[in-house]
Amino acid sequence: MGEIDRYFDAALSLVKSAGNLISEHVDGCKIFERKSCDIDLVTEIDKKVEETLIGGLSKEFPDHKFIGEESVAGGAKCELTDAPTWIIDPVDGTLNFVHGFPHSCISLGLAINKECVAGIIYNPILKQLFTAKKGQGAFLNDRRIHVSDITELRNALVAFEVGTSRDEERCKVVFENFKRIVTKGHGLRALGSAALNMAMVAMGGADANFEFGIHAWDIAAGDILVREAGGVCMDPSGKPLDLLSRRVLCASTPQLAQELVETLVQIYPERD
Ligand code: LIP
């Protein structure tokens, strides 16, 4: 068994047990605090899941590093080095979770030398377990998944999110992109979880996904998942993905990604 397999197996069992915290509270977790703005929420479950994952992984791998959504919210620095780093969103789709809309997941990526080499996206409510390891393919539960073969925007279903910022200038760009994709493509979808949107691209349910303003913890697991499913993941400008840039574009094919690069109005949020 390789090193990545060993790290992955330990993480998977922690993710599965932390998933129970989400599924057990899915009907009753309406108590939340606000973070950066009125619709950026955190619940006790977000905090408990993150503590469970960081606690378990640091016990197993004391020299590994962590970038966790809720730890960063508490003032910790977001630092990505070459060391093995677990990038954690304990509940991606917290707003969904608070409302009982069943698209919330744990998103856990492992980066080594700043490259995502393993990812787990687990929606315990709908029992969807997406996994990927470098060079070993992408899976939904135990079934191998692949991206679609769509190459043109006019045939594409595109996932996106508005994000949490309601800054007027930013919203103008979001709505312009909304208009461009709706006019040119088959349609737009927004599940309310960046990680699950990327998982949809990996399984061929959507053909592309883009978002401006996301964070490393929203996209780290999705990056390796989409690539292992045969898709491409990059910066929306067409440059290589930068996990801390708060920008992502993934697609089933390089041709579709390129068309989106040329179609989207770009936003450059402050880096993580
Ligand atoms: C949320 C995302 C959502 C995105 C928001 C936010 P959270 O994550 O998954 O898709 O639009 O900006 O990052 O806060 O629920 O973990």
Q: pLDDT tens across 137-179, in order?
A: 999 999 999 999 999 999 999 999 998 888 898 899 999 999 9
Residue 115 lies in a domain: yes
- φ, ψ (nearest 5 deg) of residue 71: -65, -40
Residue 272 lies in a domain: no
Predicted pLDDT of residue 42:
80
Q: Which of 118, 145, 172 is the last residue of a domain?
A: 145
Residues framing ligand 1 (Cβ under 6 A)? 69, 89, 91-95, 161, 163-164, 192-194, 211, 213-215, 218
Tens digits of residue pLDDT in 17-57: 999 999 998 876 667 778 777 777 788 899 999 999 999 99
Mean pLDDT value across the chain: 94
Cα dihedral 97, 98, 101, 105, rounded to 10, equals -10
Residues 112 and 11 in one domain: yes
Atom 12 in ligand 1: which residue has the minimum CA distance? 163
Q: Which of 115, 145, 175 is the last residue of a domain?
A: 145
Q: Which of 94, 113, 145 is the last residue of a domain?
A: 145
Residue 226 lies in a domain: yes
pTM, 2 dp: 0.96
What's the structural domain count of the chain?
Answer: 2
Q: How many A from CA of 90 to the centre of ligand 1? A: 11
* Distance (Å, whole) CA 8 – CA 137: 14
CATH number at residue 72: 3.30.540.10
Q: How many A from CA of 217 to the centre of ligand 1? A: 9
Residues 141 and 103 in one domain: yes
In this structure, what token pair is assigned to residue 61? 């791998």
Residue 25 buriedness (CB in 10 A; 0-12 / 13-18 / 19+): middle
